[in-house]
Structure 1
Amino acid sequence: MARIQGAASYKEKQHHLLIGLMSGTSLDGVDAALVSIETDKHETIQKVRLEQFYYLPYSDALRQQVMLLCSPETARVDQLTVTHYGLAEWYAYAVQQLLRQAGVAADQVDAICMHGQTVWHVAGNTQFPGPEGETSVRASLQIGELSTVMERTGIPVVGNFRARDLAAGGEGAPLVPYADLILFRDEQKGRLLQNIGGIANVTVIPAAAADEHIFAFDTGPGNMVIDELVKEGTAGRLRFDEGGKIAASGRVSTELLEIYLADAYYQLQPPKSTGREVYGKAFVDRFRAEGHKKGLSFEDMVATATALTAKTIAQAFERFVFPLVPIDQLIVSGGGAHNETMLGMLKAELPKHIVVMTSAQFGIPDDAKEAIAFAILGHETLMGRPSNVPSVTGASRPVILGNICW
């Protein structure tokens, strides 16, 4: 079987076929994208095309197990270790199903580019006992063993993308903006790329932008709070608010909303990132308890959580984007792109001249964009090129991301 033995062999080609794997903070499942990337003789990306997409939902048992690992109160080292390897079996299965659907053999694929499942993200400096006294540590843990995926599929795997940026003094996130620039840069239009997954994050791309002109950050909760409220409120019958129908049937509590708009995170200047350790189950429990005190119905709480996401996104634009960059279009992706109530709330908060679109209107399915992005990041790793953006992550310099399991 022909197989790449190193980056030098990969760089000799101008057409590359990769698989991007993404499992986000929503803990809903695995997005797998088969992506072709064409480069010119100068090794510059000329075309990125999605060939096939496959979604593998997590089982309830797996979702619950991973959820426990995202909280210091419930995480156990034995379960963390087992899940690290067990999740890799899910990733490998997703790859196999994707290839079956596409009618593509494993030996035609250059590499799998795998984000892994984030269970803890500490972007700021944390004090730790070092060899010469206290030292500062930045840390983020994505689980899913690369070697298992390689062994099950026979395809080289690139993963652990965030670690190198953290080592270089960055937040380790967001990483997708590098790919956003390749996919969505426009000579005439200033664009905002807003992903609404479990956490919401935005990439700011000025018209005719170069790498050093873009910036990005996590705006706050995306679907995470809404999903948890829906799961609890329906006794697990529903996992998310499809189309925003539950929110549309409720009333937004201005009083509850104002309490949670006061969260200190929203005032922090970018670069910044956040995750389930801030907006996970403990946050939702407090939100729900406050809602009950105020006599809110289940529908009212979902409506208010939806408004929280829309409002914090819009406020982030007002504080950190609009004073710096003229914007013409907002392009939404992720699960939130399907939530019509959320999109309606978001449009109502924005200046009238900004056109709100979804990535699907650009030929990139809303749920596939981040998986495609990690295929691009893996490609750059194999080309030996940096793909973090220091203006986005706060890293001291551009660095080549990820580890490779050949």
Structure 2
Amino acid sequence: MAVRREIGSYPMWEAYRSKREHLVIGLMSGTSLDGTDAALVHIQTDEHGAMQRLELVDFICTPYTNELREVLIRLCSPETARVDELTTAHFGVSEWYAHSVQQLLQSAGISSRQVDMISMHGQTIWHAPVPVAFPNPPGMGNLNVSSTLQIGECAVVKERTGLPVIGNLRARDMAAGGEGAPLTPYADALMFRSAAEGRLVQNIGGIGNVTVLPAGSSAVEVSAFDTGPGNMVMDALVRHATEGRQHYDPNGSMAAKGNVNSELAEYCLNDEYFRRQPPKSTGREVYGVEYAKRLMEYGVARSLSLEDMLATATWLTAETIVRAVEDFVLPKTHISAMLTCGGGTSNDTLMNMLRQRLPEAIRLERTADHGVPDDAREAMGFALLGHEALMGRVNTLPGVTGAAHGVISGHLTL
């Protein structure tokens, strides 16, 4: 029986690599659980397939409804997660991704036939890079397993859009002994490194993560790690205090009315993660709802207002970002600028705290100052990771994740 191929008479990847210009969609929904980001990017390559130019064509964000957000919050906690709800959500969020793609195409005024493929991160539910014991096959000795789970079924997005989809981008790095995160530093290096100066790319999403780009750095010289909580703790405090009526602190206005409590700040900083040497990564399983509840209980026992607790949680994000740079980056690398991105850049109180605490020699800028909108950077980054995979290139940095070697990461659904 003849096998029908998706693109002409060539396998899809051969046709893809033969082109010098590509239109790729990157899909990202982060640990803040605020919605789905979709970026349409135009990638130009040279005759060897190396990227020469990256241009953002269009970008949209589709906010999650309160109902979906509450479902995902339940799934991110072992105390409230249910396997039937998890299975339904795995397929259900894919409908959101497919809807985002259709909205993006409509906004950009182009047909799906003009797009080469979709690179989809999925929604992280649980990230467990620290190995735990697991029943082992006979004769294997002790077996310890690290793991991660991003829900979102690529087959659904393929069926709804007709486009090839790359997903499950973290799994193979973990199989190679890495932490599976952070992944976007590979794309950060392509987008932001400079021959003249050392730069940091500091993302402030649910979790904060920093990419270190020494001046004129090669791929092996790039490093990155999660600095700790970004918006996650602040958001959880607001949700808990308002019984879900509000999901975040707009512009940091509530935190601006409070005072940083030194006792609560010391309690927060007494956390082993902040002292761990990179490579390292973390997530909602550490700094999610249960962590916020403990902070809330600690603060209530000391008669702190919500504003004081938010001011302290906001300070914690800024402080741990700067301490991470001072402890793990500056002793080895000269840095001239920090380029911030992610939802945290809209929190004026957080950005002011970060500006005040950052060493004077480091300029505080935004990725938007370098042509990449703050909220689009991750979706653009995952578009690049999918593109590099289809070009047949390793798209991970083992020096960042701690893997034994670089891999071509991602599962392709045709």
Q: Same fold (TM over 0.5)?
A: yes
Instruction: Note if 1:181 corresponds to 2:189.
Output: yes
Separation in 1, partners of 2:81, 2:301? 30
Amino acid at match of 2:69: R
Instruction: Note if 1:102 corresponds to 2:111.
Output: no
Amino acid at match of 2:309: M
Amino acid at match of 1:129: P
Separation in 2, partners of 1:345, 1:193? 17
Q: 1:14 aligns with which of 13, 20, 24?
A: 20
Q: Which residue matches 1:224?
A: 232
Amino acid at match of 1:28: D
Structure 1 residue 97, shift from structure 2 partner: 0.4
Q: Which residue matches 2:83?
A: 77
Separation in 2, partners of 1:49, 1:137? 39
Separation in 2, partners of 1:127, 1:229? 32
Range 302-311 or range 344-353, more displaced: 344-353
Separation in 2, partners of 1:12, 1:32? 25
Equivalent residues in 2 for 1:115-194 (5 A)? 115-132=121-138, 133-194=141-202
Amino acid at match of 1:23: S
Instruction: Note if 1:251 corresponds to 2:259.
Output: yes
Amino acid at match of 1:270: P
For the residue of structure 2 that corresponds to 1:269, the secondary structure is coil
Amino acid at match of 2:45: T
Instruction: Note if 1:41 corresponds to 2:69.
Output: no
User: Is the 1:160–1:403 contact (alpha carbons within 8 Å) kept by the matching residues of 2?
Assistant: yes
Equivalent residues in 2 for 1:4-403 (5 A)? 4=7, 5-132=11-138, 133-403=141-411
Range 357-366 or range 27-36, more displaced: 357-366
Range 388-397 or range 345-354, more displaced: 345-354
For the residue of structure 2 that corresponds to 1:301, the secondary structure is helix
Deviations for 1:98-117, whole angstroms, at most 9, x for unmatched residues? 00010110111111100000
Structure 1 residue 335, shift from structure 2 partner: 0.5
For the residue of structure 2 that corresponds to 1:130, the secondary structure is coil
Amino acid at match of 1:316: A
Alpha-carbon RMSD: 1.2
Separation in 2, partners of 1:3, 1:198? 38
Separation in 2, partners of 1:43, 1:398? 19
For the residue of structure 2 that corresponds to 1:239, the secondary structure is coil
Amino acid at match of 2:171: A
Separation in 2, partners of 1:345, 1:330? 14
- Consecutive unaligned residues in structure 2, runs of 5 or more: none
Separation in 2, partners of 1:182, 1:188? 15
User: Is the 1:3–1:107 contact (alpha carbons within 8 Å) kept by the matching residues of 2?
Assistant: no
Amino acid at match of 2:157: V
For the residue of structure 2 that corresponds to 1:326, the secondary structure is coil
Separation in 1, partners of 2:336, 2:208? 20
Separation in 2, partners of 1:10, 1:136? 38
Deviations for 1:45-81, whole angstroms, at most 9, x for unmatched residues? 0011110001001111111111111111111111111
Structure 1 residue 238, shift from structure 2 partner: 2.7
Amino acid at match of 2:128: V
Deviations for 1:128-152, whole angstroms, at most 9, x for unmatched residues? 1121343121110000000000000
User: Is the 2:75–2:81 contact (alpha carbons within 8 Å) kept by the matching residues of 1?
Assistant: yes
Structure 1 residue 3, shift from structure 2 partner: 5.0
Separation in 2, partners of 1:200, 1:294? 28
Structure 1 residue 247, shift from structure 2 partner: 1.1
Separation in 2, partners of 1:107, 1:395? 37
Range 229-238 or range 324-333, more displaced: 229-238
Deviations for 1:164-219, whole angstroms, at most 9, x for unmatched residues? 00000000000000000000010111001000000000000000000000110000
For the residue of structure 2 that corresponds to 1:270, the secondary structure is coil
Amino acid at match of 2:84: D
Deviations for 1:379-403, whole angstroms, at most 9, x for unmatched residues? 0111111111011000111100000
User: Is the 2:6–2:12 contact (alpha carbons within 8 Å) kept by the matching residues of 1?
Assistant: no
Separation in 2, partners of 1:382, 1:328? 34
- Consecutive unaligned residues in structure 1, runs of 5 or more: none
Separation in 1, partners of 2:306, 2:76? 25
Range 338-347 or range 2-11, more displaced: 2-11
For the residue of structure 2 that corresponds to 1:331, the secondary structure is strand
Instruction: Compute the TM-score of the two structures, normalised by the length of structure 1.
Output: 0.98
Separation in 1, partners of 2:193, 2:362? 16
What is the number of residues matched between the two proteins? 406
Amino acid at match of 1:383: M
For the residue of structure 1 that corresponds to 2:56, the secondary structure is strand
Structure 1 residue 237, shift from structure 2 partner: 3.6
User: Is the 1:123–1:273 contact (alpha carbons within 8 Å) kept by the matching residues of 2?
Assistant: yes
Matched-pair identity in %: 54
